Homo-oligomer: A and B are copies of this chain.
């Protein structure tokens, strides 16, 4: 009787049918995003962490010693004893997740791609390269078509690099994508209120943020102003044809642990009613991947929502929550948009990218 039972049971959770788990190596394993990777992959049906790589002072130590764990809860037991290796190929894994700082990411990620590894990168260095997909799977999964060209350009035999966007961009690109598809976006003004975890650890000094608003995040405003156009661009034979709207960004750090809140005004190319605007967001489809939230973009009409602490964990941190959608005095519409910056905006987005790559038979 066990077999039929199992069949039925598995029908409820198809992921369990997979006999094989892909082996994952984490580059930058001891950092804030590296820790999130460890946490998100703890019970993942498709992945298991088999290699941890970090900087010299961690090499040779078990992960539990090398890593000053900064997330709630404990270091997942399945990675506690993995001995940290240097950040260079080969690593005993099928795919690498990278959260390396920009300074070392360019060379190292290329080395891994060249050595045949799919590199799922959370770093900023390759995001705007013409042959590198900048992915939010729900929005532009077809940009994976760039991988072929990337391999040709760079002489990668089997490996490749895909990236996920800047964590602030992830907060507002989804509702913008919903509007862009239906009505065309002409321009967008975004003002961000970003969490301290976005800067990693030790990151933001407490004296810089307690009872304070810090108005400067190095390099952030330019990133926010250019990434959305690529993400919302169209894949063609010749690469990505970027969306042709302008973005203006002012970025602030505020005193919250996790969750980037963004204030948005948007001008549309075609007329849309408030109902159509809300509907476009609400109905933007989620995917059926393991880490996909039930709702990709949730729209609330409660006047005081979303709030950073109360809504950042919606959909296990993978849902984008939008609220206060109103006609604007100067632009067509305004709204606010929130996402969890270290889940949806970093590690969770990378994991979703990897799940997408499996679904597309690219790893």
Contact = CB atoms under 8 A, between A and B. Distances in A.
Interface of A: 1-2, 4-5, 8-9, 32, 69-74, 187, 189, 191, 193, 196-197, 201-216, 225, 246-248, 250, 252, 254-257, 259, 261, 263, 265, 303-314, 323-324, 328-331, 334, 336
A128 B247 CA distance: 34
Contact of A212 (B303, B309, B314): B309
A210 B209 contact: yes
Contacts of A305: 215
A207 B8 CA distance: 45
Contacts of A263: 191, 250, 252
Contact of A313 (B72, B213, B214, B330): B72
B255 A255 contact: yes
Given A202-B202, A250-B265, 18 more contacts: A70-B310, A72-B312, A189-B330, A193-B254, A196-B206, A197-B207, A202-B207, A203-B205, A203-B207, A211-B256, A211-B257, A211-B309, A213-B259, A216-B304, A225-B329, A246-B329, A248-B334, A255-B256
A329 to B, nearest CB: 4
A257 B308 CA distance: 13
A331 B246 CA distance: 10
B257 A215 contact: no
Nearest to A197: B207
Contacts of A256: 210-213, 255
Contacts of A247: 329-330
Contact of A191 (B1, B187, B191): B191
